[in-house]
Amino acid sequence: MPPPLPRATNETIVSPLEGKRIVLGVTGGIAAYKAIEVSRRLVDAGAHVVPIMTEAAQHFVGTTTLSALASEPVQTELWHNPTTPIPHTKVGQGADLIIVAPATAKLIAAYRIGYSHDLLTNTLIATRAPVIVCPAMHTEMWEHPSVEDNIDTLRERGVHIVEPESGRLAGGDVGAGRLASPETIVAAAETVLGPADLDGVSVVVSAGGTREPIDAVRVIANRSSGKQGYAIAAEAASRGAEVTLVSTVSLAAPPGVEVVAVETAAEMQSAMESRASGADVVVMAAAVADFRPVDAAGGKLKKRDGVPQIVLEPTPDILAGLGSTKPSGQVLVGFAAETDDLVANAEAKLTKKRLDLIVANDVSAPAVGFAHDTNAVTLLRPGAKPVEIDLAAKRDVARAVINTIVEIRTGND
């Protein structure tokens, strides 16, 4: 009988925004309502949010709403401020990061030339903290040479620009200029304040459950939502990695991540093998079907023809194949979704498939695994104590996985 595994240890997961003092500036654009969601997400990540609204912003969003969701009441006044006679200096000096969302063409121009006419522009000029500017305006304004020139100048000065998206704008127009999503803005904050310990590292992640066709309509599938794989891709990208996500699901792509759409195990095998050979890190988070029909019907099988006989064959073991051809120095990570003997089954896969790390979870446990926004996992490495991650948001679990990958790459335990 093999010796028992060492007792698992628990890991505390800390967001790069935890405890950070973030000034959230809101200017007078129709997209000002999105700043409320940005504030909520920042606070949920552990940040202390200091909101500043311009006079124009108050035409679009009330101060009461933002004050309730931020960490302290909204500040609007450069003069007659009850907190301090020099609010811009105090706020600017105390900030770890300043985010302006939305940033109008007026704010961008004022910031570029140092026109300190209100509390927000004074704060921007009186800080040495990093600044993220999130423009939002109509397409014609966004594409105007003066705005483009102002943006270029701010970039040259080290200001981080979260470019607007294309889509539906105010008044029914469609084009570039829509404020980036709150998720993208918060991801930018995580990147700026995060460790950047995967800067320039090539990472390939798989996500979702494969679907093996029975006929033109029906498939053999599993219940994987792909959420954990997407969270890992997002976390890796936020830390500077160049991420490719091979996915079977239609979730929104994490900011800065290239998505390769596949459906079957064969398609995923082809996509992973073609990309894994040149990657520094490969994370196989997808749930690949173990079996597929030998012959899929070209059309739809009819009930009137009786119960069909479906002959199955095994699908390729993609992870084992990646392990057998793993180049020197590459970190290969697998997942083990189990319902019993969690650690023993995962330990066997860790060894058999030549993995550097395996993430095991009990998908029969409440709020764990498929379709949930939370997960609880055990991280196993060759020769190391298992590490238990208690029930947490999948992004927090992803952070723990990426932390361990960084430790493996740097040789730190």
Contacts of 272 (CB under 8 A, 6+ apart): 204, 206, 246, 282, 284, 318, 322
Mean pLDDT to the nearest integer, 169-176: 84
User: Which band of pLDDT confidence, cut at 50, 70 and 90, is reported for residue 77?
Assistant: confident
Homologous superfamily of the 21-193 domain (CATH): Flavin prenyltransferase-like (3.40.50.1950)
User: Which band of pLDDT confidence, cut at 50, 70 and 90, is reported for residue 4?
Assistant: very low
- Cα 33 to Cα 40, 77, 102, 133, 187, distances in angstroms: 12, 20, 9, 16, 19
For the chain, which residues make up each domain, given as ranges? 21-193, 202-410
- What is the pLDDT at residue 218? 93
The half-sphere exposure of 381 on its side-chain side, counting CA atoms within 13 A, is 17
Query: In the predicted model, is pLDDT for residue 7 greater than 50?
Result: no
Query: In the predicted model, is pLDDT for residue 412 greater than 70?
Result: no
Q: Which of 139, 137, 130, 183 is nearest to 161 (CA)?
A: 130
> Any idea which fold 202-410 has?
Rossmann fold (3.40.50)
Query: In the predicted model, is pLDDT for residue 6 greater than 50?
Result: no
Number of residues that this document lists for the chain? 413
Q: Which of 244, 239, 318 is nearest to 284 (CA)?
A: 318
Is residue 361 annotated as part of the catalytic site, yes or no?
no
DSSP string, 99-129: EEEEE-HHHHHHHHHT---SHHHHHHHT--S
Catalytic residue among 10, 122, 150, 222: 222
265/271 Cα distance (integer angstroms) = 10
Mean pLDDT to the nearest integer, 233-254: 96
**What dihedral angle (degrees, nearest 10) is formed by the CA atoms of 372, 376, 382, 385?**
170
Mean pLDDT to the nearest integer, 217-237: 95
Are 21-193 and 202-410 in the same CATH fold? yes
Sequence letter at residue 26: V
Q: Which of 69-83, 277-291, 329-343, 383-397 has the lowest mean pLDDT?
A: 69-83
